[in-house]
Amino acid sequence: MPAKGCIYSYHPDTDVTVILGETIQCKMEYYNCGASVDIYLAIISVDGIQIGSKRADDLPPGVENRRELVSRTFTPLLEHKKISYEALHYEAGEWVWDDVRTVALTVVPPATPTPTPVPATPTPTPAPVNITIDSIPTGADIVLDGTELLRKTPETFSLSPKVYSIELSMPGYEPYRTTFVVVAGTPATHSYTLTPITTPTPAPPPEIIVRPPLLAGSVNILRSRFPTTIIMDVLETFRMHLDNTGDITARYMVTLQFINATDPTEVYPSTSAWTDPIENGRYKSAYVYVVIPRTATEGVYNLFSVLEAEEVV
């Protein structure tokens, strides 16, 4: 029987709903359900982002030899949708997925308390104020708060304190529209200068640029999620945020290159699968699974990304 890792138990093991701000602790038990002693790895992740992992070297077969992985307590966000439990074994230089379990995760915002209404305090009615409306030139028709008053400038009105809209019109001049504030106990004069009507210069026809559709995309490092420290021979998940910055629907594949900062000839590439089609102006995440071999040189590596795209018809 070939090597194989199995999940014995996991928690939570059913779909779970939490209130935003609450914490969850996930755990799982895994064992060697094959026939030989091998290297095994257990991973707990949320929406593809690893929150806990444990490796067992030379794990003998049998459920009685099972191991437990307990994740760090984490606080889910509103966008989190699922928790995954994965059991893998190491074979022929790479990790092989054997058993994967998934539960749905729903995060809801906390209830907002209903404010207690405060009774309104009656406001005394202020006395009217004398306001004079004038214009340059004089003789303009006055419309106050949408009502034609059949009065011409200059004219004085007794108005209650508040904000008023006013429109002045006169043949040969542009209509003048504005607002003014009447302040309690403060008489005032408002004078407005009318603008003569001029014949506008015809606008030139608009220039339209015609070009072929653009096939383009970008990797948004700031919105990507990945570890900043990698342990050799340990599977790490890099979730790369891809934006379709072109004009057409396309799919994308991203290659991550880990280049030794002191020896640029030492390079370790890892490539994602092709994404589902992404409409222009939209985005998706591409998952790159990275294992740096134990033969790598310890130190700092620079991360470069290479994005490939092809049109989806």
pLDDT, one tens digit per residue, over 50-86 is 888 888 888 888 889 888 876 767 888 889 999 998 9
Structural domain count of the chain: 3
pLDDT grade, residue 235 (50/70/90)?
very high
pLDDT grade, residue 2 (50/70/90)?
low
CA angle 254, 259, 264 (to 5 degrees): 135
CA distances from 80 to 46, 55, 76, 85, 142 (A): 7, 26, 6, 15, 61
CA gap 53, 90 in Å, rounded: 14
CA distances from 99 to 4, 5, 32, 154, 239 (A): 9, 7, 11, 88, 21
Give the pLDDT confidence score for residue 117 in this predicted structure.
80
Note whether residue 199 is domain-resident.
no
Kindly report the pTM of this predicted structure: 0.36
Give the pLDDT confidence score for residue 192 in this predicted structure.
94
Q: Could you list the residue range(s) of the whole structural domain that residue 137 is in?
A: 129-193
Residues making up the chain, counted from first to last: 313
CA gap 53, 88 in Å, rounded: 11
Residue-averaged pLDDT of the chain: 90
Note whether residue 267 is domain-resident.
yes
Note whether residue 58 is domain-resident.
yes
Among 193, 210, 232, the domain boundary falls at: 193
pLDDT grade, residue 37 (50/70/90)?
confident
Residue pair 85/44 in contact by the 8 Å Cβ criterion: yes
Residues sharing a CB contact under 8 Å with residue 224, sequence separation 6 or more, in sequence order: 238, 239, 240, 241
Residue pair 5/37 in contact by the 8 Å Cβ criterion: no
Can you read off the two tokens belonging to residue 130? 């004398």
CATH of the domain at 176: 2.60.40.10
The mean pLDDT of 141-168, rounded to a whole number, is 91
Residues 99 and 135 grouped into a single domain:
no
